[in-house]
Structure 1
Amino acid sequence: MLATLGFLMIITFMVLIMTRRLSAMIALIVVPIVFALFGGFGKDMGPMALEGIKSVAPTGIMILFAILFFGIMIDAGVFDPIINTILKVVKGDPVKIAIGTAILALLISLDGDGTTTYMITISAMLPLYKRIGMKPLVLAGIAVSASGVMNLLPWGGPTARAMTALNLEMGDIFTPVIPSMIGGVLFVLFMAYTLGKKERKRTGVLEINYGTEAMAAATTADESLKRPKLILINYLLTIILLVALIREVLPTTVLFMIGFAIAITMNYPNLKEQKERVMHYADNALSVVSMVFAAGVFTGILSGTKMVDAMANVVITHIPDALGSHFAIITAIISAPFTFFMSNDAFYYGVLPLLAKAASGYGIDPAMIGRASLLGLPVHLLSPLVPSTYLLVGMVGEDFGSLQRTFLKWACGATAVMIVVALIFSIIPI
Structure 2
Amino acid sequence: MTEPSTLLTAVGLSIIVITVGLLIWGRVAPVVAMVLVPVVGALATGFGLDQIQEFFAEGLSSVMNVVVMFIFAIIFFSILSDAGLFDPLIRTLIVMTRGRVILVAMGTVLIGAIAHLDGAGATTFLLCIPALLPLYNALNMSKYLLLLLVSLSASIMNMVPWGGPLGRAAAATGIDSAQLYQPLLIVQVIGLALLLGLAALLGLREIRRIDKGVAAGEFERVDNIDVHQIADDFTKRQIQDRAEVEGKINRNRVVFWLNVVLVAIVLTVMLAGWLPPALTFLIGVAVALPLNFAHAQTQMDRLKAYAPNALMMAAVIISAAVFLGVLRESGMLESIALSLLAVIPASVGPYLHLIVGALGVPLDLLTSTDAYYFSVLPLVDATAGQFGVATTSTAYALMIGNIIGSFVSPYAPAMWLALGLAGANVGKHIRYSFGIMWAFSLVLLLVAVLVGVVQV
Task: Give TM-score, length-normalised by structure 2.
Answer: 0.90
Return 413-422 or 71-80, whichever deviates more: 413-422
Rounded to whole Å, the distance in 1 between the matches of 2:414 and 2:144 is 16
Q: Is the 8 A contact 1:77 1:228 kept in 2?
A: no
Structure 2 counterpart of 1:35: 41
Aligned-residue offset at 1:316? 1.7
In the alignment, structure 1 residue 357 sits paired with structure 2 residue 363: no
Rounded to whole Å, the distance in 2 between the matches of 1:235 and 1:395 is 29
- Deviations for 1:300-354, whole angstroms, at most 9, x for unmatched residues? 1111211001001011222111122223322321333223310111111112111
- Picking from 183, 194, 200, the partner of 2:201 is 194
Structure 2 counterpart of 1:216: 235
Q: Is the 8 A contact 1:329 1:429 kept in 2?
A: no
In the alignment, structure 1 residue 98 sits paired with structure 2 residue 78: no
In the alignment, structure 1 residue 177 sits paired with structure 2 residue 181: no
Rounded to whole Å, the distance in 1 between the matches of 2:309 and 2:438 is 29
In the alignment, structure 1 residue 266 sits paired with structure 2 residue 273: no
Structure 1 counterpart of 2:56: 49
Structure 2 regions of 5+ residues with no counterpart?
A: 1-6, 212-220
Rounded to whole Å, the distance in 1 between the matches of 2:20 and 2:150 is 28
In the alignment, structure 1 residue 155 sits paired with structure 2 residue 162: yes
Aligned-residue offset at 1:172? 4.2
Q: Is the 8 A contact 1:165 1:299 kept in 2?
A: yes
Q: Is the 8 A contact 2:161 2:177 kept in 1?
A: yes
- Picking from 417, 424, 428, the partner of 1:402 is 428
Q: Is the 8 A contact 2:64 2:318 kept in 1?
A: yes
In the alignment, structure 1 residue 420 sits paired with structure 2 residue 446: yes
- Picking from 2, 8, 12, the partner of 2:14 is 8
Q: Is the 8 A contact 2:191 2:444 kept in 1?
A: yes
- Picking from 296, 320, 325, the partner of 1:300 is 325
Seq. identity, %? 29
* Equivalent position SS for 2:85: coil
- Picking from 16, 24, 32, the partner of 1:18 is 24
Q: Is the 8 A contact 1:56 1:296 kept in 2?
A: yes
- Deviations for 1:248-269, whole angstroms, at most 9, x for unmatched residues? 1111111111111111121113
Counterpart AA for 1:15 = G
- Deviations for 1:169-206, whole angstroms, at most 9, x for unmatched residues? 12442211222222221232222222222333415663
Return 66-75 or 239-248, whichever deviates more: 239-248
Rounded to whole Å, the distance in 1 between the matches of 2:234 and 2:202 is 24
Counterpart AA for 1:208 = I
Rounded to whole Å, the distance in 1 between the matches of 2:340 and 2:376 is 12
Aligned length: 430
* Equivalent position SS for 1:250: coil
CA 1:312 to 1:341, structure 2 compared with 1: closer, same or farther past 3 Å? same
In the alignment, structure 1 residue 382 sits paired with structure 2 residue 417: no
- Deviations for 1:70-95, whole angstroms, at most 9, x for unmatched residues? 11111101011102111221132111
Structure 2 counterpart of 1:206: 223
- Picking from 160, 171, 174, the partner of 1:164 is 171
Q: Is the 8 A contact 1:352 1:373 kept in 2?
A: yes
Rounded to whole Å, the distance in 2 between the matches of 1:36 and 1:234 is 49
Rounded to whole Å, the distance in 2 between the matches of 1:20 and 1:208 is 44
- Deviations for 1:46-73, whole angstroms, at most 9, x for unmatched residues? 1211221222111000000000011111
Structure 2 counterpart of 1:72: 79
Q: Is the 8 A contact 2:361 2:437 kept in 1?
A: no
Rounded to whole Å, the distance in 2 between the matches of 1:424 and 1:155 is 26
Rounded to whole Å, the distance in 2 between the matches of 1:54 and 1:325 is 30
CA 1:42 to 1:178, structure 2 compared with 1: closer, same or farther past 3 Å? same
In the alignment, structure 1 residue 231 sits paired with structure 2 residue 256: yes
Aligned-residue offset at 1:241? 1.6
Q: Is the 8 A contact 1:3 1:310 kept in 2?
A: yes
CA 1:396 to 1:231, structure 2 compared with 1: closer, same or farther past 3 Å? same
- Deviations for 1:122-181, whole angstroms, at most 9, x for unmatched residues? 121112222222222221121111112112222111111111111111244221122222
Rounded to whole Å, the distance in 2 between the matches of 1:278 and 1:316 is 49
Counterpart AA for 1:314 = S
Task: Give TM-score, length-normalised by structure 1.
Answer: 0.96
